[in-house]
Chain A
Amino acid sequence: MKLNIRIDGHAGQGPNALAKVLGSVLAKQGYYVFISRDYGSYIRGGHNANVLTLSDSQIMSNDLEADIAIFLEKNIEIKEPRKLKDNCRIIDSAVEKNMYFAGRLVKMLGLDFRILENELKKLKNFDVNLRDAKKGYADAKTEFALRSLKNKLEFMDGGVGIAEGAIASGLDVYFAYPMTPATSVMGELAERQLENNHIVIELEGEIAAINAAIGSAITGAKAMTGSSGGGFDLMTEALSFIGQAEVPLVIYLAQRVGPGTGAATYTEQADLNLALNAGHGEFPRIVLAPGDPLECQELTSQAFYFSQKYRVPALILSDKHLAESLYTIKNKPVITKSQKCISLKRFNSYNHDESGTAADNAPAIAKSAESRIKKAEEIKKEARKFKPFKLYGKSGSKNLVLFWGSTKGAVLDACKDIDVKALQILYMEPFPEEIKSELLKAKNLLIVENNSTSQLAQLIASKTCIHINKENKILKYNGRPFLTDELRMEIEKRIR
């Protein structure tokens, strides 16, 4: 059983709040929910779409066509390529407010009104919302009888997952400058700073943010910063400085459409090469790419662990689709605990000796380089203890689909019940070269990426000398995430 529900309206009419409330109600009833948001870069007005997919089994992506459409105003035009089914039920009104529709949908799906009421209590304007919801409930007929399921599910987006992971890892300070889609982590951490006793500070720019984070990190605090595209670009000199000075820092990089200012509110996986190569000189780093909010929590804790233990920068690579989509999660995250390994001493951005004093003689320069190489090897060895890659699907299949990051939801949903095995890479650096044997076992390699040059394929080629055929690269680079059925067709065309 699966339903796709569109919720469209103007930014400012509250379509996001409506979608989130409905998602929470469904999650409370034990249904798996996935909500993606499609919106432009404006504050009021403009079209804003949420697509909510619900199912009685695990799902983490939307389909192309909607079964139900909620329009917060009349005459909504659906942006291609998504469509309405021929028999799509349309609920619209030119006068009613967002929570009216929540009441209607709850009744239509045959859900318990009290659960909705409880969710409304968590929002502002409870009285008005409740009145609207009651009216909607009264106006509707039950058309689907969704009985409640036993699943106990968490409901969160990737941004909250990163913030949860950071808090669980003992975050002390977060410095940042706002930039979509990285800001949601800053916002979540900021809201919880007093309750959890950490601190979130907005500074005059990304260069200030990362350098301040370095300042805090050398005093022994667990420090983190985050940005997207151009903001991260501004941080790269400091990233290299960290490589020289050996400072533990966690950096959140939320990808959006580039190059340049690109498209601020749309998704892309085009900064893998950037994350791997940003900063001058040669130094070890960690680059982790979670694919859902559970992995966001787990990998964030691993980022803290590695950065503290080895005094290296650890990057967490997410994107707009992961950061801002809402997922239901069944399992509890496995959090890797980490110590605070640094005490204030003498640090240096120059090549330096043990006392932290600048040193440019030949042996001192060679010694530093060798110690960085050794460190990279130790990190690589220890990374194998975690899960640097994961396998899914039919274990004996000759068709292997490779992916990373936020395409996880669509890939796993699309691959259900077809003859493929899927391999997700979570550690982009240190790269799990041991996947080579899996790649050699497969007869047919496919890759799925939200970019135009297949950066994961480039990485795999450089690490394993295995190349993926051009026609087997399923690439989407229009700022939109993959949809389940669309991707399934693309994969089916290519399996043997």
Chain B
Amino acid sequence: MPDISTNAKPTWCPGCFNFQILAGVKNALSRKISTHNAKKEDFALVSGIGCHAKIFDYINLNGVNTLHGRVLPTCLGIKVGNPNLEVIGFSGDGDAYAEGMEHLIHAARYNADIKYIVHNNQVFALTVGQPTPTTELGYKDKTNPLGVKLMPINPIKMMLNAGASFVARVFADAKQVEWVLEEALEHKGFAFIEVIQPCIIFHPDIGVKEKTYMLQENRHFKENLGDALKKAEEFDYNTINKIPLGIFYQKERETFEEKWPQLKSLIGRKASWKDIKR
């Protein structure tokens, strides 16, 4: 398998679950490059701002480390610029659900062929531990000494309702990440993947992993939106009861780039705007 590492030395905390995500992503992408005869140049990676975003520095593929919260419009722009690229975005839960929320809802509706991985550690880690929209009630830190008073959002439910054509959740374990990304890469359309990632400093695993189970091992029918919504309700990001993992929902429909004749023609000719001489 080709080596897609950079020379940069990771600056995540020793033992950080981001290493698991990095390993899973690298495995899936290297395999795609070696077995599907894809080229390194066929990929574009986009990351936001936060601990998660450093992943951009550790994978030697093209793309951009963009602004906080702007991963999805950047991905969309890349896809419009060259619809033949395999575009993969990385966000944190702050990046995706706080600063970038307006884009997330619309990305699900647009259904551009973009794979989007949210590293959900239930905190703003890089800014040292403030609560995000998915932090549980009562969580305290220096900026919120009175504790979180609002119920977290349920991103899986939200993405299902917003029309995402692929909705999955896994735990930050290299094997799971690799599996789900490979599935997503086979999917044509917007793939939303949330990775439950304990933050060993600010939000350690308080028994989450034990409560997880795989949907795909429990006869889950992923083309049924109603079933997917029911499964999404099992974990509300506040109380840990049962945490379903796997692909909640997957159903392909026409993609964003297939709807514009200009982009369709670029796809047909395996070209980008850059190739168009005027």
A, B: real partners: yes
Select one of A194, A214, A343 contacting B274, CB under 8 A.
Answer: A343
Q: Which of A105-113, A202-210, A282-290 contacts B (4 or more CB under 8 A)?
A: A202-210
Known contacts A198-B262, A215-B78, A217-B81; is A173 also within 8 Å of B273 by CB?
yes
B62 close to A345 (CB less than 8 A): yes
Inter-chain CA distance A78–B106, complex, in Å, is 46
Shortest B111–chain A CB gap in Å is: 14
A-B contacts counted at CB < 8 A amount to 145
Interface residue B146 (Cβ < 8 Å from any Cβ of A): no
Say yes or no: A197 contacts B262, CB within 8 Å. yes
The answer to whether B142 has its CB under 8 Å from any CB of chain A is: no
Q: Which residues from 264 to 278 on chain B have a C-beta closer than 8 Å to any C-beta of chain A? A: 272-274, 276, 278
Chain B residues contacting A194 (CB-CB under 8 Å) are: 261-262
In the complex, A211 Cα to B85 Cα: how many Å?
A: 17
Q: A170 contacts the other chain (Cβ, under 8 Å)?
A: yes
* Residues of A close to B46: CB separation below 8 A: 215
Asked if residues B262 and A211 are in contact (CB atoms below 8 Å), the reply is no
> Are B62 and A212 in contact, CB atoms less than 8 angstroms apart?
no
- Contact partner of B80 (CB less than 8 A), chosen from A199, A222, A356, A357, is A199
Write the B236-278 contact mask toward A (1 if CB under 8 angstroms, else 0): 0000000000000000000000001111000000001110101
Q: How many residues of B contact A (CB 8 A)?
A: 43
Is B154 on the interface with A (CB-CB < 8 A)? no
Q: Of the candidates B6, B63, B73, B82, which one forms a contact with A211 in the assembled complex, judged by CB atoms under 8 Å apart?
A: B73
Known interface pairs A219-B274, A347-B63, A357-B57. Does A199 touch B260 (Cβ–Cβ under 8 Å)?
Answer: yes
Which chain A residues lie closer than 8 Å to B61 at the CB level? 346
* CB of B175 closer than 8 Å to a CB of A: no
User: Whose C-beta in chain B lies nearest to the C-beta of A205?
Assistant: B102
Q: Contact string, B60-85, partner A, CB cutoff 8 A, digits 1/0?
A: 01111111001011111111111001
Complex CA gap A170/B63 in Å reads: 24
State in angstroms the CA–CA spacing of A209 and B278 once bound together: 24
Closest residue of chain B to A342 (Cβ to Cβ) is B274
What residue of chain A has the Cβ atom nearest to residue B44's Cβ? Answer: A344
Dominant secondary structure of chain A at its interface with chain B: mixed
Task: Determine whether the beta carbon of A355 is less than 8 Å from that of B273.
Answer: no
**Does B210 count as interface, using CB distance less than 8 angstroms?**
no
The answer for the CA separation of A30 and B263 in the assembled complex, in Å, is: 42
Contact present for B80 and A201 (CB under 8 Å): yes
CB-nearest residue of chain B relative to A194? Answer: B261
A241: contacting residue among B8, B66, B72, B81, CB under 8 A = B66
Interface residues in A207-239 by Cβ distance below 8 A to B read 207-209, 211-223, 237-238
Is the C-beta of B41 less than 8 angstroms from some C-beta in chain A?
yes
CA distance A309 to B70 in the complex (A): 26
Which listed residue (A170, A203, A237, A345) contacts B73, Cβ 8 A?
A203
Instruction: Tell me the residues in window 309-358 of chain A with beta carbons closer than 8 Å to chain B beta carbons.
Output: 340, 342-350, 352, 355-358
> In the complex, which of the residues A221, A222, A349 contacts B65, with contact meaning CB atoms closer than 8 Å?
A349
User: Using Cβ atoms and an 8 Å threshold, which residues of chain B touch A349?
Assistant: 49, 64-67
For residue A342, which residues in chain B have a CB less than 8 angstroms away from its CB? 274
Q: Per a CB cutoff under 8 Å, which of B78, B103, B260 touches A219?
A: B78
B273 near A220 with CB under 8 A, answer yes
Expressed in whole angstroms, the minimum distance between the Cβ of A364 and any Cβ of chain B is 13
The reply to whether A199 and B106 form a contact with Cβ atoms under 8 Å apart is no
List residues of chain A with CB within 8 A of the CB of B64.
Answer: 214-215, 218, 245, 346-349
Q: 1/0 per residue B32-69: CB within 8 Å of A?
A: 00000000010010100100001011000111111100
Chain B nearest CB, measured from A120 CB (Å): 31
B142 to chain A, nearest CB (A): 24
Our pick among A211, A216, A219, A348 for the contact of B70 (Cβ within 8 Å) is A211
Interface residues of A in 113-144 (CB under 8 A from B): none
Known A-B contacts A238-B70, A241-B66, A241-B67; the reply to A223 vs B81 at CB < 8 A is yes
Q: Does A271 contact B (CB under 8 A)?
A: no
Known contacts A215-B74, A215-B75; decide if A173 and B81 are in contact (CB<8 Å): yes
Q: Any chain B CB within 8 A of the CB of A175?
A: yes
A contacts with B, residue count (CB < 8 A): 48
- A346 and B276: CB pair below 8 A? no
In the assembled complex, A295 has its CB within 8 A of some CB on chain B = no
Q: Which residues of A lie under 8 Å from residue B8 when comparing CB positions?
A: 357-358
Given contacts A175-B77, A213-B77, contact A221 B274 (CB under 8 A): yes
Distance, CA A288 to CA B274, complexed state (A) = 25
Q: For A197, what are the chain B residues with a Cβ–Cβ distance below 8 Å?
A: 262, 276
A209 to B105, CA, bound (A): 15
The one of B66, B73, B274 that contacts A220, using a Cβ cutoff of 8 Å: B274
Q: Which residue of B lies closest to A241 (CB)?
A: B67
- Contacts of B175-230 to chain A: CB distance below 8 A: none
CA distance A211 to B71 in the complex (A): 9
Among A205, A215, A245, A352, the residue within 8 A (CB) of B77 is A215
Chain A residues packing against B (C-beta within 8 Å): 170, 172-173, 175, 193-194, 197-199, 201, 203-205, 207-209, 211-223, 237-238, 241, 245, 340, 342-350, 352, 355-358
| 19 further contact pairs, Cβ within 8 A, besides A199-B80, A211-B67 | A172-B81, A204-B105, A207-B70, A207-B73, A208-B72, A208-B103, A212-B73, A212-B74, A214-B64, A215-B79, A218-B78, A219-B81, A221-B81, A344-B41, A344-B44, A346-B56, A346-B61, A348-B65, A349-B49
Residues of B whose CB lies within 8 Å of any CB of A are 6-8, 41, 44, 46, 49, 54, 56-57, 61-67, 70, 72-82, 85, 102-103, 105-106, 260-263, 272-274, 276, 278
